[in-house]
Amino acid sequence: MRIIIHSFLSLLRKPTKALMILVILFVVFSMVFTGVIIQNSISKSKEFVRLEMGAVVEYKSDFMKAYGDNLPQDEFSQLQLSKSTAETMGSDSRVEATYINYTDFMESSKYESVEGESGGGMFTLSAASGGAATFNFKATEGGVPIEFDTNKLEIIEGRNIDASDESAKDNSIVISEEFAKKNQLAINDEMTFRSYTKNKELDFVVVGIYKVKDSKMTGNDMYVSSNALSMDGYKSISSIYFRLKDPLQVDGFMADQSVHLPSKYTVLDAGNLEYETLTRPLDLMSMIASILIWVIFIAGAAIIVSLITIFVRDRKFEVGLLLASGEARLKIIGQFVLEIIMVALIAFACSVLLSFQSSQMVSEWIVENHLVEGERASGNTIVFGDSINDVNGKVSMENVADDFSVAITFDVMRNLFIISIGIVIIASLIPLVVILSYNPRQALQD
């Protein structure tokens, strides 16, 4: 208790030096804290982007690389997707479900295709105009299509395609609500389409009707069993997806499973281009913040050490008197360190309050001038997430900007406090250890 009282009185006797240390600590702490807080916010925003994009990873052919390498036609087999590779990747504990998909285009002059928001833009011919409407038939081997599991589509009547349809006598089909209304179709109705691949007509029975919940999805998509799209027992894989348990496991999964890819012309993709495009401004800010933190931290630590060294050395005579009067060296060290810590605590509290306000202003400027404004400059309604068949989430910079909040969490405050007090203690001990190595007479004479 006596040490605390002496430390407090010592600061009151020399307010100018105490204020000088307070100002220096306040400035250094504030700048470092602002950088750390912004860095933490950027990290959280990148997590938000990944969470919004979802936990779907696509195993696909890299046609762009093949084109760039002028891949010969006789080597196109390197672009093929491997079912065995998909099964190996799907055995990863992070994978919740694997979707091996097949696609075929079929036509009919009897049915009208859906137009408008949910109808898509690729189907222009219809029976009413005298042509044959073309429809996209999709199948997932042995399970529910991924569009339903990712909540892009929802069954509102009947049932979905399941494993029992693979061996059923009749071909089952699930159609959209818009298509059913336009063509006056209901559950158990029979339908006929002509397959481009098989070059023959196929009959189907309606077992389910779905509702489009995502405007990017098309009401002209038909869902059938994979057996219905096989030709002489052979089925050509059109796409493969893995749905992970946690979106934050996506990057780790792709890094670990890339070694299983059968050729350099196949890749794992979770909207990589979109993610990089969205997070590129955040990465730039993170790099700038890191440089700021380290420069200020190193320069600030040097300034603090120098200032406290001067502050302690100016009291060398006082140290000599205390030693001559029989005061224990540890008590002298404790008093001096406690004085500095008292000042540091005040500086720390003020820095935290100021850093919260300053980092809010900086983050608002970043959001408006680098995130949202950058997106507006390249197109007012850019929405990412459509590259993997509309099964992953869509993210816009407006959403990221809304999530870009600067918060001083307990963990951040704890780490900053430990670092700050550590610097102050070390800066106090360096000159004290030198002074206390003298005997009382040397200290008084110097």
In the chain (446 residues long), the average pLDDT of successive 10-residue segments reads 58 70 82 78 78 86 88 85 91 92 89 67 43 86 86 92 85 94 94 87 93 84 89 78 91 92 90 77 79 81 77 72 75 77 84 73 62 49 42 62 63 78 76 70 63
Residues 180, 81 share a domain? yes
Residues 34, 11 share a domain? yes
Residues 203, 336 share a domain? no
Residues 363, 250 share a domain? no
Which residues span the domain enclosing 330? 2-54+276-445
Angle at 215 between CA 211 and CA 216, to 5 degrees: 110
Distances in Å between the Cα of 294 and the Cα atoms of 225, 284, 287, 326 are 58, 16, 11, 43
Q: In sequence order, which residues have a C-beta less than 8 Å from that of residue 275 and are 6 or more positions away?
A: 49, 50, 53, 384
- Looking only at the bridges linking them, the beta strands covering 221-224 and 133-140 are parallel
Residues 365, 318 share a domain? yes
Domain finish residue from 270, 296, 328? 270
Residues 334, 423 share a domain? yes
pLDDT for res 383: 39
Residues 257, 292 share a domain? no
Domain finish residue from 270, 303, 338? 270
Q: What does the alpha-carbon distance between residue 235 and residue 239 come to, in Å, rounded to a whole number?
A: 12
Residue 273's identity, in one-letter code, is L
Q: What does the alpha-carbon distance between residue 254 and residue 222 come to, in Å, rounded to a whole number?
A: 30
Residues 205, 230 share a domain? yes
Are the C-beta atoms of residues 104 and 197 closer than 8 Å to each other?
A: yes
Are the C-beta atoms of residues 117 and 215 closer than 8 Å to each other?
A: yes
Q: What is the phi-psi region of residue 116: left when phi exceeds 0, alpha when psi lies from -120 to 50, beta otherwise?
A: left
Angle at 405 between CA 36 and CA 419, to 5 degrees: 20
Are the C-beta atoms of residues 262 and 237 closer than 8 Å to each other?
A: no
- Looking only at the bridges linking them, the beta strands covering 239-244 and 56-61 are antiparallel
Residues 390, 250 share a domain? no
Q: In sequence order, which residues have a C-beta less than 8 Å from that of residue 294 and are 6 or more positions away?
A: none
Residue 62's identity, in one-letter code, is D
Residues 48, 71 share a domain? no
CB atoms within 10 A of CB 399: 16
Residues 112, 40 share a domain? no
Question: 416: exposed, middle or buried (C-beta count within 10 Å: 0-12, 13-18, 19+)?
Answer: buried
Question: 184: exposed, middle or buried (C-beta count within 10 Å: 0-12, 13-18, 19+)?
Answer: exposed
Which two three-digit tokens encode residue 212? 């489009």
Q: In sequence order, which residues have a C-beta less than 8 Å from that of residue 167 and are 6 or more positions away?
A: 227
Q: Identify the helix (H) or strand (E) that includes residue 133.
A: strand 133-140
pLDDT for res 384: 38
Domain finish residue from 209, 239, 270? 270
pLDDT for res 395: 63
CB atoms within 10 A of CB 137: 22
Query: What is the pTM for the complete model shown?
Result: 0.68
Question: What total number of domains does the chain contain?
Answer: 2
Are the C-beta atoms of residues 363 and 404 closer than 8 Å to each other?
A: yes
Q: Which of 338, 320, 341 is nearest to 329 (CA)?
A: 320
Place of tokens 């295709």: 113
**Helix and strand tally (H, E) in the chain?**
14, 10
Residues 68, 45 share a domain? no
